[in-house]
Each structure stands twice: as C-alpha cells, then as structure tokens.
Chains A and B, each alone.
Chain A
Amino acid sequence: MLEEVSTKKSVAALRTDVKISEEGLLTDDFVRQLINVGEVDILVGLPTYNNAKTVGPVVAAIQSGILQWFPRDRAAIINTDAGSRDGTPEMVVGASIDDVRRREFNRLALRTLHSISMQYGSTVARGTALRTVLSAGELLQAKATAIISPDSTNIQSDWLRDLLKPICRDNFDLVLPTYARHKFEGILVTNLLYPMTRALYGLRIREPYASEFAFSSRLGSQFLAQNQWNDDGAGEGSEVRLTLAAITGGLRIGQSFLGAKNHTDRHAADLVPALRQTVGVLFWSMDPNFLLWSSKTGSQPIPTTGAEQEFTHDPRRVNRKRLHEMFRSGVAELASVFQSILSAATLEELQKIAGLAEEDFHYSAELWVRTVYEFAAAHHKAVISRDHIVQALAPLFRGRALTFLMENRNSSADRVEANIESLCLEFERLKPYLLEMWSGKK
C-alpha cells in the first residue's frame, strides 16, 4: 500500500516536470511509457526516418553493446521517429533482446532493456529528435546518453563502450567519435569545420559534427535549458550546437576512435544543407562567444581513446571537372554577392584562379582561410541575409575541395594528415586577420 502511494507520487511529480519543461513536445503516451521505465543509468537515442533497411542490425548492435558492457546498468533505447512509413519504429520496439542474448552470450541480462518509440512529427527535424531524447533523458535521470545513427550499418557493440564508458567512468561530459575514413571523405570537416573550430576555441576536436556521440546528464540538462529551441533554425545543426555548448561551457570533452563508418545517409548533393548545419552554426556561435574565442591562441589536443584519425585509400569516383566548372561558374555568376562579402583583394584573387585550367588550378590554403574568415566577418555584420552568406560559400568550397583532391591524389595517410595539420596551422596563424575583419579595421 505504501509502495503504491509512493509510485503515484513519483508519477505525479514526473508528470508535473514534463508539463513544466517540455509541454507539447512529448506526447502523453510517450510520457506514460517513460514513467513505466522509471530511472535509468544509460540511455541510447536512435533518431530515425524510413530506416527499415538498416535499423535492424543497428538495434541488435546496441542491445549487444548494452548486454556486453553495461549488464548491471539500467538502460533504455529511445527511438525518435520523423513519421516513417516503412515500419521503422515497430522494428526498433519489436527487436527482441533475447535473440542477441542467446546468440552472443548465452546468459540472462540482469536488467530489463526498454525500447520506446515516439513520432515527433511528419518531417525530419534533427533538432527536435535530439530535444526529445534530451527531455526523455532528463525525466529518466540518465547518467549518460548516447546518440546512434540508424544507418551506421557497420556499427560494433564496442561503440557503446567507447562512447559511454568515458562518461560513466571518467566523468567526461561529451565524447565525440573519430573514424577510419576515406582520405577524401568529409572534406568539409577536414578543410573547414575542424580547422576553424580548432583555431577559434583552441581544442583539436576532429569531428565537431558527429552522428554518433555521447554526453553526460550535466551537459544534456544545460543544453536543453540554454539552447534557444524556438529560434529560427535552432533545430539545424543541433549536433554542432551541442559540441559548441560543451566547449563554451568549459566541460570535459573527449574523443573515441570507433573504426570505419559507412556514410550512407550523406551525399555530395547535400552540400548546402551540410553547410547550414555546420558552418552556419559555427558562424552563428561566434557572436555570443566573441570574448571566449577572441582571447584564444594556438590549440590543445583533447583526451583521445584510440587513434585520432585514420585514412583509407580505396578508389572512389569523383567528378573533378564538375567541381572545377561549378567553382568557375560560381565565381562568375555570384560576383555581385561576393562584392558584399569579400574584400576586393580576395575577390580579385578568386577571379584570377577561376580563370585557370583544371590541371593548373590551385586554391591555396592561405586564400581559403582568408575567404572563410571574411565570410565569418560578413556573417557577423549581416551584410546580406546570413543564410545567403552561408549558401554563397558552396561554390568556393568546391574549389577548395578540388585543390585538396588534387594535392592528395597520390598521398599516403601520413601526408594527408600533414596537409590537414598544415591547413589547421594556417587557420591559427591568420586568426588576427579574422579579428581585424571582425572589428571592421580592414
């Protein structure tokens, strides 16, 4: 009788919390399921949208990881779905842990593993998906939460250990992945996002935009409370926002090497959305954090488990001619837009290299860094619509990507790494130029 009263009280308290914190976001049914789960130690968030083809092995790997590495912990899988029509949520919720148990361990788990699904909308909104997981994590008082991409078909059960153990055991607040990637995979990360984040905030975070990561309850609660979720575009690039929140909040950040990762969900055609989600958010973060980044010089490595980065060399199809053509036409057609964003000298240099033939084409690291910094300053001053500034970077990025491809065509992994390091140092060296542009001295 006493136990029943206590349960009713805790249920009422949870309901009140939900109403106060995230009214309208979590459905009643979802809240009821969360209440049934009670408290957990670790939570795994799985944002999905029509991932029936790949989600099965991913859920199995998550279950396997929990059984293997966290058998004594209370755990739950939260699936936030964008309205899949291929039965993805049913597959997540219906995946039986008994199969994994029998197949891999032949033993019983000490705890029940809960799988809950919630449809948050009818279109993909990564920000809302993350917010839902954060809210659920707060209600369940999860000590650590991992987010796993549903199309990471080569996920290993070790990934959960590598992401969650540093948080549970070593009190890290954010654990980001590093992968074994093709040397030309993620050029936006290696040529802009990583070097610029490093130059700005002084931390060598290889994957500021990650599809797999883990965070502590402290970071989760802070981010949930501080992030301006209702702002225009706040949902975009929420992964980068979380990383930036950890950096600016002075929290402990680590990296874990996860091995190879398939990028089935990311295509080259998605360059503009990719720029919005990463570079747009990075530029956006510079205004409120000016005092922090303007005082940083140089950079420091962050604690890393395993390799910092590995590069593979298997042959890939890249249309260099198309990259060259799109850079040339972009510089020519967007001249009026670039006049508002870039300095006359930078624009003149860009127009000069746009006239070069493909085999002679070279977009130097220095010119690239100056271009990016001038874009950041223009974004700060809002010389034109900020979204247009981010979009205008796309053709120039293609030019830089072409140079990176040509420079590293026959390079070994070490040489590629050295070139990326050299670019990072260029970003750090030219930081005073950014400050001059920012303050309008140039």
Chain B
Amino acid sequence: MREMIVSELTQAVQELARGFARFLPRLIVLVIIAFAGWVIAYLLKILARSILRLIRFDRLSDNAGASQLLAKAALPPSSELVSRFVFWVGWLGFILLGISVLGIFGLQEHIARFFLFLPRLFAAMLIMFLGLLAASFFSRAALLAAVNSNLPSPRFLANSIRGIIIVFALSMVFEELDIAQQTVLVAFGIAFGAIMLGLAIAFGTGGKELAQRFLESRLRHRHEEEKNEDELSPL
C-alpha cells in the first residue's frame, strides 16, 4: 500500500517535472518574444512619433478640435497619445503571440480574433479623427459665414453642425467596430426622431407665435438691412 502511494507520488512528481520541462522552454520563448516585442514596439513608437511630428499631426489635431478634448481630459498631446497607442497595441500583439506559443486550449481562438480586430480598430480611429476634422472645418466655415452675414446665434449654428457631424462619425465608428449595432441604430433613430418631432411641435403648435415673431423679425430685419445698405464699396 505504502509502496503504491510512493510510486504514484513519484510518478506524479515526474510527470509534473516533465510537464514543467516541456513548459519551461515555451515560457522562455514567451519572455523572449515579449522582450523582443517591447523593443520593436518601442522602435515603432519612436517611428510613429517622428512621422506624426513630420506631418504636423498636432496642428491637424488642433484644427480638428481633438487637442482641446484631450486637454480637457488631462491626456497628453495627440501625437504622443497615438505613438503610445502604437506601442501598447504592438507590445500587446507580441505578448499575445507569445502566449499562443504556450498552447493553452481555447486562448488561441481569442488571440486570432484580437488580430483580426486590429485593422477595424485602426479604421474606426481614422474615421473618428476624420469626422472630428470635418466637424471642425464645417462648423468653423458655418461660424464665419454666419458672422459675416450678420445672422443671429452663429455659435449655436456652428455647434449644431459640429454635433451632427460628430454623431454621424460616431455611428460610423460603432458600425465599423461592430459594437451594439442594433442598439446604436435604435438609439440614433429615436434621438433623431425625437429632435425632429420636438422641433415640429415647437414650431407648429407650442411656438407658433414665437415662430411667427421670429420670421417677421427676420424678414423685417432683412428689409431694414437692405434699406441700410452702405453706398460704399470696399474696393
């Protein structure tokens, strides 16, 4: 009996030792891959930072209004943020590659999914950035046009245009990332419908007189403006 227990224990320890002996090289490979990945990711970060500085990404980001958002959230400048993102995504990728070498059952599928997800993540980020850029450009264009045409509430007009473009960009980002498509679609539909319905009710019934006064004042204002037109030419 005692001999049997000793034999079983010996066998278990031997198997553990064999398993560990089989696992140790993989672990070493993981550490090597992680280390090499860190070096490569760090180099990628430096490269990304240089390229972003070369293309004046921070100025582009300023124009897009992204810098202001980042500053409000106490985050670093956008070129630094993107280069850090490149580093972490790169290093995480290498670590996951190393983990897949360990051969843990079920993990490999998730790792493969992560790598397939990366291009979509980058595409979503690009869409968001371009959306912010477009929102900033068009809202500024609207602001300038409204100010130079002496329209009322130019900032409200500009902010509305910015908001609409950002919401549109966000919905595209969610669609690209395949996140809660149904929820986003429904939420977007409800929000848009609610705004339109609200406006219709406000102008159609509740704000009938207000709308009437507004239109009257606008038309009268325009008429008076035409009457007050300067007789001087700038050129």
In chain A, what residue has the closest Cβ to B153? Answer: A333
Across the interface, do B234 and A187 meet the contact criterion of CB distance under 8 Å?
A: yes
Q: Mark A168-211, 1 if CB is under 8 A from B, else 0.
A: 00000000000000101111110000000000000000000100
Cβ of A263 within 8 Å of any chain B Cβ, yes or no, is: yes
- A-chain residues with CB within 8 Å of residue B18 when the two chains form the complex: none
Are B148 and A395 in contact (CB-based, < 8 A)?
Answer: yes
Across-interface contacts of A319 in B (CB, < 8 A):
228-230
> How far is A271 from B144 in the complex, measured between Cα atoms in Å?
13
Contact, CB under 8 Å: B234 / A274: yes
Q: Nearest chain A CB to B137's CB is how many angstroms away?
A: 6
Complex: A244 Cα to B154 Cα, angstroms = 36
Report whether A317 and B150 are in contact in the complex, using a CB–CB cutoff of 8 Å: no
Does A1 belong to the interface (CB within 8 Å)? no
A 391-416 binary contact with B (CB < 8 Å = 1; else 0)? 11011010001000000000000000
- The residue that B231 contacts in the complex, of A318, A333, A383, with Cβ under 8 A, is A318
Interface residues of A in 273-332 (CB under 8 A from B): 274-275, 278, 316-319, 322, 325-326, 329-330
B143 — which chain A residues lie within 8 A by C-beta?
A: 333-334, 337
**What is the CA–CA distance of A209 and B146 in the complex, to the nearest angstrom?**
27
> Which of A182, A266, A267 has the largest count of B CB atoms less than 10 A from its CB?
A267
Determine whether the beta carbon of B144 is less than 8 Å from that of A266.
no
Whether B232 lies near A184 (C-beta < 8 A) is: yes
Partner of A186, one of B62, B150, B233: B233
A325-349: which residues lie under 8 A (CB-CB) from chain B? 325-326, 329-330, 333-334, 337, 340
Across chains A and B, the number of contacting residue pairs, with CB separation under 8 Å, is 92
Please report the C-alpha to C-alpha distance between residue A267 and residue B229 in the assembled complex, in whole angstroms: 9
With a CB–CB cut-off of 8 A, which chain B residues contact A266? 233-235
Q: Which of B147, B228, B232, B235 has the most CB of A within 10 A?
A: B235
Determine whether the beta carbon of B232 is less than 8 Å from that of A383. no
A329–B232 CB distance below 8 A: no
In the complex, are the beta carbons of A385 and B147 less than 8 A apart? no
Q: Is A186 a contact of B234 with CB atoms below 8 Å?
A: yes
Q: From the candidates B59, B148, B154, B225, name the one contacting A391 in the complex (CB within 8 A).
A: B148
Q: Given the known A-B contacts A334-B143, A337-B143, A383-B59, are A182 and B150 also in contact in the complex, defined by CB atoms under 8 Å? A: no
Q: In the bound complex, do residue B140 and residue A316 qualify as a contact, i.e. CB atoms below 8 Å apart?
A: no
Among B63, B137, B140, B234, chain A packs the most CB atoms within 10 A around the CB of: B234
- Contact (Cβ within 8 A) A209 B235: yes
- A269-B229, A340-B62, A385-B137 known; A334+B234 contact, CB < 8 A: no
Report if B141 contacts A (CB, 8 A): yes
Query: Chain B's interface: helix, strand, loop or mixed, by majority?
Result: helix
Interface size class of A (residues with CB under 8 A): 35 or more
Hey, what's the 0/1 contact readout for B60-97 against A, CB within 8 Å counting as 1?
A: 00110000000000000000000000000000000000
Chain A residue nearest to B152 (CB atoms) is: A329
Q: Report the interface size for chain B: residues with CB under 8 A from the other chain.
A: 24
- Kindly provide the distance from the CB of B143 to the nearest chain A CB, expressed in whole angstroms: 7
Flag if A388 contacts B234 (CB, 8 Å): no
> Does B49 belong to the interface (CB within 8 Å)?
no
A5, CB-defined interface residue at 8 Å: no
Residues of B within 8 A of A385 (CB): 63, 137, 140-141
Interface residue? B155 (CB, 8 A): yes
Most chain A CB atoms below 10 A, which of B59, B140, B225: B140
B141 nearest CB neighbor, chain A only: A388
Q: In the complex, A356→B47 CA distance in Å?
A: 52
A333 and B140 in contact, given A274-B235, A384-B63 (Cβ under 8 angstroms)? no
Q: Is A182's CB under 8 angstroms from B232's CB? A: yes
Contact of A272 with B by CB under 8 A: yes
CB of B233 within 8 A of CB of A384, answer: no
Quick one: CB contact mask for B195-235 with A, threshold 8 Å, 1 for yes? 00000000000000000000000000000010011111111
CA distance A187 to B148 in the complex (A): 17
Bound-state CA distance A397–B148 (Å) is 11
Expressed in whole angstroms, the Cα–Cα distance for A75 and B113 within the complex equals: 78
Contact B230 A317 (CB under 8 A): yes
Q: Is the CB of B234 within 8 A of A333?
A: no
Asked if A20 is at the interface of the complex by the 8 Å CB criterion, the answer is: no
B229 touches A394 (CB 8 A): no
A334 touches B144 (CB 8 A): yes
Contact call B231/A316, Cβ cutoff below 8 A: yes
CB atoms of A185 and B233 under 8 A apart = yes
**CB of A360 within 8 A of chain B?**
no
Q: Is A2 an interface residue (CB 8 A)?
A: no
Residues of B within 8 A of A232 (CB): none
Closest to B139 in A: A336
Which residues does chain A contribute within 8 Å of B141, judged by CB atoms? 385, 388
Complex contact B235–A388 (CB within 8 A): no
A268–B232 CB distance below 8 A = yes
Whether the Cβ atoms of B231 and A317 lie closer than 8 Å is yes
Contact B231 A391 (CB under 8 A): no
8 Å CB contact of A333 from B59, B137, B147, B233:
B147
| Interchain CB contact under 8 A, B235 and A189 | yes
- Whether, in the assembled complex, A270 has its beta carbon less than 8 Å from a beta carbon of chain B, the answer is yes
Question: Closest chain B residue to A385 by CB distance?
Answer: B137
In the complex, what residues of A have CB within 8 A of residue B62's CB? 340
Find chain B residues with CB under 8 A from A270 CB.
233-234
User: Would B229 and A392 count as touching, CB distance under 8 A?
Assistant: no
B150-A326 in contact (CB<8A): yes
Smallest CB–CB gap between A400 and chain B, Å? 11
Cβ distance B86 to chain A, nearest Cβ, rounded Å: 26
Per-residue CB proximity of B148-183 to A under 8 Å, as 1/0?
101000110000000000000000000000000000
Q: Report how far A322 CA is from B230 CA in the complex, Å.
A: 10
Nearest opposing residue in chain B for A329, CB measure? B147
Write the nearest CB–CB distance from A312 to chain B, whole angstroms: 12
Q: A82 vs B232: C-alpha distance in the bound complex, in angstroms?
A: 26
A-B pairs with the 5 shortest C-beta distances?
A266-B233, A188-B234, A268-B230, A391-B144, A319-B228
6 intermolecular pairs with C-beta atoms under 8 Å apart: A185-B233, A187-B234, A271-B148, A272-B148, A322-B230, A391-B148
Interface residues of B, Cβ cutoff 8 Å to A:
59, 62-63, 137, 140-141, 143-148, 150, 154-155, 225, 228-235
